[in-house]
Amino acid sequence: MFNTLLDFVELKTFFFKLLEIPNWLFLLTLDYILYFPIIIGFGLALYSFYKARGLAKEELKYPFAFIVYLAYFGFFHSYVWLRSITKEIAKAKRTW
């Protein structure tokens, strides 16, 4: 019984540590050379989507689908390019 109570208290403190706001010194340890281009590219993608949607006079019907699209589009695009490059290197027969 006592061990179960200790496990519960330990689990409770672990979840509170997850909700804790990080220290400002944590921001100094980030790799800005890696994250800066990613944030700028993501911001440009959002801005261009916003402008294109405004010019087309459309409204966003499925916001969840848009978020998933933005998150996975790079992976899908990279997969298609990598697949086509490997087919070109292997001189695979082109099918249309």
Assess whether 4 and 32 both reside in one domain. Answer: yes
Both tokens of 69, joined, read 């699209």
Give the domain range for residue 4.
Answer: 1-60
Assess whether 8 and 37 both reside in one domain. Answer: yes
Assess whether 2 and 40 both reside in one domain. Answer: yes
Residue 57: which region, alpha, beta or left (left: phi > 0; alpha: psi -120 to 50)? left
| The model scores a pTM over 0.95 | no
pLDDT single digits (tens) 9-60: 566 666 666 666 667 777 677 777 888 888 898 889 888 888 888 888 888 7
Assess whether 72 and 89 both reside in one domain. Answer: yes
Using CA atoms, how far residue 94 sits from 43, 52, 67, 81, 90, in Å, is 37, 34, 34, 15, 11
Assess whether 72 and 50 both reside in one domain. Answer: no
Assess whether 66 and 56 both reside in one domain. Answer: no
pLDDT single digits (tens) 46-91: 888 888 888 888 887 888 888 888 778 878 888 989 988 888 888 7
Both tokens of 41, joined, read 């590219």
